[in-house]
Amino acid sequence: MILRQNVQFRSGFPHDGDDDLDVQPGRNIAEALGAALRQRGYRVSEPINGGDHGWELDVWRRRKRIWLQISVLAADECYLMTENMTFWLWPDVELFRAFLRDLQSVLAEDSRFCVTGWFSKGASASATELADAPLTP
Amino acid sequence: MHESISEFIDRQNRKVARFGREAEAAAHEAYRKSIRLGQDLKLSSPGDVIRHGAQLLQDAEDRAARIASRKAEEVKAQAREALRGVAKNPVARSVAIDTARTAGNVAGVVRGGVHAVEGVVDGVTFLGRLVDPLDRLKSAPGQSAAEQLGRGVVNTGRMGVDYVRKGVADPQRVVTDVTNAAGQWRRELDPSATPVAPTFEGELRRNFNIGQNQGELAFDVGSLFVGGPAAKAVKGLERVSNVGNMERYVAQGFSPKAAAHLAEPYPEWGMGHHFIPRRMGLPESYSDSVFNVLKPEGISRGDFYELHYKVDPSYTGGSVKGEKWNGEALGLKKYGLAGRIWHGSPPPLKARVGGLGAGAGAVMYDPDDERKDR
């Protein structure tokens, strides 16, 4: 099974960055994602300012953590990166897969997200063929 | 210069003679006082005079010690009272605990430095013996540096092999060991991992000790690579600064407004690049320290974004005055692991390997090689 943990999307959210204070946009996106994930039973942190990266969320299922980063380059080019932060010696792959499926449905259900495609960690969105789903056989 | 035996005996004799004179003076003073007050004081021989004087001197010394001890107790009581006052106020209490931990951080960094110097001194001594052709002759049988080194390597290797063999036979043992080590580490570094002390004083001490451990960890991890920071800093001066060079960013396709923003110096409050990402959950005292945050001085925003793009796999770009900044679109390439370690580590992190690898690396370092990739 191929696992693609990053997603490129277009955003229907208003620009909420502040150039004078070097605050990147995307906080409103992080808040919306956090609320939707909470409804699916995850414990989610408040949006964390990731500096030049954008905004981050820590998402927990029980005591296991998944990290999520939102980078808004422009309304037509946003990125969502995820990382499985469960213990590296025995990563909980099943949990991560379930999370990616949930994330996929969250993005599909909110019309403000328009997913361009999913891609693997370390790959470049423009140099790789984007997939419709995070998990493909 | 060392003191000889005869000099030591002379010094002791002078000390005894001085004590004798002081005792005699004290006895005479007491005798004069007894005559003034009409008291009976019989000192019939020179021995009686010295004995009585010595007793008077001893009494005076004891009295002074008692007064000093009483004063110390008073100061201690005042300090305890002040602590009780702070303990009653939740805000002051929290500030005091934070302050204790910060003080511990500083003390820990110093402790780390002391330990590192001790290690270096030991290492240098050992290395000196290792290259000394006469070491084997000068050392007791089996104790030469070469023999010790050989034993160490063999023993370490044997222990490693034994551990792997036992681990294969009993995997739970490895899990337990790792869990124990992680638990111990957490207890030493995380204030929430151990119970709060029953007294405020105890809590301050607990936080100071944890702060010290955190500080030493910060030093140890932070100075892993050290050695070339000064050299790199000097070479860093050669970096062509693009602060104020709007044209460079206009040429990249940005509007004059965005180009002006990119040509500004990267702000002091900017978060910089975290060598070990913040998501790894290291203590903030290390994660946000100069050992982990790369933020070169005098660099423009635009140049910092370019550097950040190359050294950080999770940085794609951002928004600049409403315009898209995308490293890939600018033709930049991300570094591989070695490049990320070298170019992405802050100078203070390159400070402990001493004049070895990092020193050599500093010679190899060329600030412009970041641009050659484009």
* Residues of chain A positioned with their CB less than 8 A from the CB of B261: 19
Of the partner residues A24, A81, A125, the one whose CB lies closest to the CB of residue B314: A81
The whole-number pLDDT of residue B327 equals 95
Provide mean pLDDT across the span A53-70.
Answer: 95
Range of the domain at A63: 2-136
* Distances from the Cα of B272 to the Cα of A22, A120, B19, B213, B222, angstroms: 12, 26, 68, 26, 17
Per-residue pLDDT for B213 more than 90?
no
Does B104 or A12 have the greater pLDDT score? Answer: A12
Asked whether A114 and A10 are in contact (CB, 8 A), the reply is yes
Between B110-119, B153-162, B354-363, the lowest mean confidence (pLDDT) is in B354-363
Quote the DSSP letter at residue B200: H
Phi-psi region of B281 (alpha: psi -120 to 50; beta: other; left: phi over 0): left
- What pLDDT band is residue B372 in, cutting at 50, 70 and 90? very low
Please state the ipTM of this predicted complex.
0.94
Phi-psi region of B38 (alpha: psi -120 to 50; beta: other; left: phi over 0): left
- We report the CATH number of the domain holding residue A10 as 3.30.310.80
Q: What is the pLDDT of residues B61-73, one digit of tens each?
A: 788 778 878 877 8
Asked whether A117 and A99 are in contact (CB, 8 A), the reply is no
Chain-chain contact of B308 with A52 (C-beta, under 8 angstroms):
yes
The whole-number pLDDT of residue B27 equals 78
Does B362 or A108 have the greater pLDDT score? Answer: A108
State the smallest CA–CA distance between residue B253 and chain A in angstroms.
Answer: 15
Q: How far apart are CA B59 and CA B44, in angstroms?
A: 22
Could you tell me which residues of chain B have a Cβ less than 8 Å from any Cβ in chain A? 178, 261, 267, 269-272, 278-279, 305, 308, 313-326, 328-329
Measured in whole angstroms, how far is the alpha carbon of residue A92 from the centre of its chain?
18
Q: How far apart are CA A82 and CA A78, in angstroms?
A: 13
Per-residue pLDDT for A102 more than 50?
yes
A8: helix, strand or coil: strand
Report domain extents, chain B: 5-88, 91-222, 229-372
The whole-number pLDDT of residue A129 equals 87
Between A13-27, B62-76, B88-102, B156-170, the lowest mean confidence (pLDDT) is in B156-170
Per-residue pLDDT for B96 more than 80?
no
Average pLDDT, chain A: 94
Q: What is the pLDDT of residues A4-25, one digit of tens each?
A: 999 999 999 999 999 888 899 9
Provide mean pLDDT across the span B196-212.
Answer: 78
Q: What is the pLDDT of residues B220-253, one digit of tens each?
A: 555 544 433 333 343 333 346 788 888 889 999 9
* Residues of chain A positioned with their CB less than 8 A from the CB of B278: 50
Of the partner residues A25, A69, A79, the one whose CB lies closest to the CB of residue B319: A25
Of the partner residues B279, B317, B325, the one whose CB lies closest to the CB of residue A83: B279
Q: Which residue of A has its CA nearest to B312?
A: A53
The whole-number pLDDT of residue B62 equals 81
Could you tell me which residues of chain A have a Cβ less than 8 Å from any Cβ in chain B? 15, 17, 19, 22, 24-25, 49-54, 56, 58, 67, 69, 71-74, 77, 79, 81, 83, 85, 89, 122, 124-127
Percent of chain B surpassing pLDDT 90: 18
The whole-number pLDDT of residue A115 equals 94
Name, of A12-16, B144-148, B268-272, the range with top average pLDDT: A12-16
The whole-number pLDDT of residue B338 equals 84
The whole-number pLDDT of residue B374 equals 36
Q: Which residue of B has its CA nearest to A71?
A: B318
The whole-number pLDDT of residue B10 equals 80
Q: How far apart are CA B4 and CA B158, in angstroms?
A: 51
Between A95-104, B56-65, B66-75, B152-161, the lowest mean confidence (pLDDT) is in B152-161
The whole-number pLDDT of residue B285 equals 85
Provide mean pLDDT across the span A73-102.
Answer: 93
A5, A13, A22, best to mutate vs chain B, most B CBs in 10 Å: A22
Per-residue pLDDT for A108 more than 60?
yes
Q: Which residue of B has its CA nearest to A89?
A: B175
Per-residue pLDDT for B328 more than 90?
yes
Phi, psi (deg, nearest 5) at residue A9? -150, 165
* Residues of chain B positioned with their CB less than 8 A from the CB of A125: 316
B71: helix, strand or coil: helix
- What pLDDT band is residue A58 in, cutting at 50, 70 and 90? very high
The whole-number pLDDT of residue B54 equals 79
The structural domain count of chain A equals: 1
State the smallest CA–CA distance between residue B325 and chain A in angstroms.
Answer: 6
